[in-house]
Chains A and B, each alone.
Chain A
């Protein structure tokens, strides 16, 4: 079973449907136990980093993520759902700097580009052909963001992208897959990524 964490963040219907297409049972939940025990947990996320973190903490999502990792259970973070895994973001919320869950020490920074948000389909540069990114090198994915991780995440497979400058489009470790883009909005390529991930559960 795949659980999609419902913590008040935007459109999760597409994520649900994209996961269902893999043939998996999918549940949308904010229940800690259900989300902890699912084979795979999807953490969606749109909007401001700070409001996502507040929503995530309200359902104990920060503890949930750490506990799942301790238990060796997989997580897929999408967009701000990727960003929250890092230590902090430059995106201020009501003038304040908000901490992330801190699974990774890097911070989320504003992209330097003349036109922001980065909206649209950009090519990813992947030097892996395994795991969730099998068969996806050179495919285009749909991005909507102004902030991203810009330094390489050590201990993870890093998938790159460029818009104004280079940034981390996605990472993968044994337990964590996280994408700055929206696989659930990236047509056939996105569905392939989700199917790859679901097959690894």
Chain B
């Protein structure tokens, strides 16, 4: 197949600095999001995601500068999520150089936000981020907020179908059961969401071993997002791509063209 499965590193950014940055040998400043994004891009990342975890609105303002500085140097797609709650926020980030925006809690509180963003900028800019956890709702998966701590009572599958019909371009599917465990992606969740989703599904949460990535692709993931395995230097993006390629999965190899 022609389309490559995307490998997407996620950087948690707070007040303009990377939280949990790792120490690459050639990295001058592990807390600099621009430099981290550049290195990930050179290693073969297919896309970069910034998750803004700033505590205050004041701190969040620096995110726009980070996005601009990254877009000026890194020529792969850039997705920004965290704390986005209005069309105005989206407009500012797109103008700063973001390609896609992910929304989570704000869309749960106000589902019409999805329609507003999608009508203004096109569904392709909008990623709906869903923190799903096993729970007592109909499908057995519930939508949560605050890192899985707060239940919403909303069924994850009902919400995914609603978000797609309102107009999103992709689903970022975070398994709150697997998040941080490094015990593997939630394959059941991926498989079931793949069955009902007409838009691409980005699997997130649980990546630990090299084998986990291939299993998630076999379960239907169109893209794989990971944070910890990169932050803690367990694997490089190039390790994952080499392993997937060896197992027969389609990934984008670094261009043989010289970068200058």
Answer whether A and B are interacting partners.
yes
A118 contacts B123, C-beta separation under 8 Å? no
Which B residues are CB-close (under 8 A) to A185?
A: 75-77, 99
A17 contacts B2, C-beta separation under 8 Å? no
Mark contacts of B197-222 with chain A using CB atoms, 8 A cut-off: 1 yes-contact digit, 0 otherwise. 11110000000000000000000001
A139 contacts B123, C-beta separation under 8 Å? no
Residue A145, interface by CB 8 Å:
yes
B199 contacts A117, C-beta separation under 8 Å? yes
Which A residues are CB-close (under 8 A) to B28?
A: none
* Distance from A134 Cβ to chain B, minimum over Cβ atoms (Å): 11
Interface of B is mostly: loop
Which A residues are CB-close (under 8 A) to B259?
A: 188
Which A residues are CB-close (under 8 A) to B99?
A: 11, 14, 144, 185
Stretch from A67-75, A95-103, A119-127, A149-157 at the B interface = A119-127
Residue A7, interface by CB 8 Å:
no
Which B residues are CB-close (under 8 A) to A190?
A: 75
From 176 to 200 in chain A, residues with beta carbon under 8 angstroms from any chain B beta carbon are 182, 184-192
Residue B252, interface by CB 8 Å:
yes
Tell me which of B2, B41, B75, B122 contacts A162 (CB under 8 A).
B2
Known: A11-B97, A116-B199, A161-B2. A187 touches B75 (CB 8 A): yes
A187 contacts B255, C-beta separation under 8 Å? yes
* Distance from A83 Cβ to chain B, minimum over Cβ atoms (Å): 12
From 130 to 183 in chain B, residues with beta carbon under 8 angstroms from any chain A beta carbon are 169-170
Question: How far is it, in angstroms, between the C-alpha of A187 and the C-alpha of B73 when the chains are bound?
Answer: 10
Which B residues are CB-close (under 8 A) to A66?
A: none
Chain A, residue nearest B73 (CB): A17
Which A residues are CB-close (under 8 A) to B46?
A: 120-121
Known: A120-B6, A122-B4. A17 touches B71 (CB 8 A): yes
Mark contacts of B219-260 with chain A using CB atoms, 8 A cut-off: 1 yes-contact digit, 0 otherwise. 000110000000000000000000000000000101101110
Which B residues are CB-close (under 8 A) to A135?
A: 257
* Distance from A186 Cβ to chain B, minimum over Cβ atoms (Å): 7
> Which of A182, A187, A191 has the most chain B CB atoms closer than 10 A to its own CB?
A187
A119 contacts B96, C-beta separation under 8 Å? no
Residue B86, interface by CB 8 Å:
no
Known: A11-B94, A142-B77. A192 touches B125 (CB 8 A): no
Residue A104, interface by CB 8 Å:
no
* Distance from A196 Cβ to chain B, minimum over Cβ atoms (Å): 11
B96 contacts A145, C-beta separation under 8 Å? no
Which A residues are CB-close (under 8 A) to B89?
A: none
Question: How far is it, in angstroms, between the C-alpha of A14 and the C-alpha of B97 when the chains are bound?
Answer: 7
Tell me which of A48, A140, A146 contacts B252 (CB under 8 A).
A140
Residue B124, interface by CB 8 Å:
yes
Which A residues are CB-close (under 8 A) to B252?
A: 121, 140
Question: How far is it, in angstroms, between the C-alpha of A142 and the C-alpha of B99 when the chains are bound?
Answer: 12
Known: A17-B71, A17-B72, A185-B76. A120 touches B223 (CB 8 A): yes
Question: How far is it, in angstroms, between the C-alpha of A2 and the C-alpha of B164 when the chains are bound?
Answer: 39
Chain A, residue nearest B170 (CB): A119
Question: How far is it, in angstroms, between the C-alpha of A133 and the C-alpha of B194 when the chains are bound?
Answer: 35
A/B interface sample: 27 pairs, CB < 8 A: A11-B71, A11-B95, A11-B98, A13-B68, A14-B75, A14-B99, A17-B71, A17-B75, A115-B197, A117-B169, A119-B170, A120-B3, A120-B223, A121-B3, A121-B6, A123-B2, A144-B77, A144-B124, A145-B124, A163-B2, A182-B77, A187-B75, A187-B76, A188-B259, A189-B255, A189-B257, A190-B75
Closest 9 A-B residue pairs measured CB to CB?
A47-B122, A13-B97, A188-B255, A121-B252, A122-B2, A121-B4, A140-B252, A188-B257, A162-B2
User: Which residues does B use to contact A, with CB under 8 Å?
Assistant: 2-6, 41, 46, 68, 71-73, 75-77, 94-99, 121-125, 169-170, 197-200, 222-223, 252, 254-255, 257-259
Q: Apart from A10-B125, A13-B68, A119-B124, what 20 extra A-B contacts exist at CB < 8 Å? A: A10-B122, A46-B122, A46-B125, A47-B121, A47-B122, A51-B122, A114-B198, A117-B170, A117-B199, A120-B5, A120-B46, A122-B4, A140-B252, A162-B2, A184-B75, A186-B76, A187-B75, A187-B255, A188-B259, A189-B257
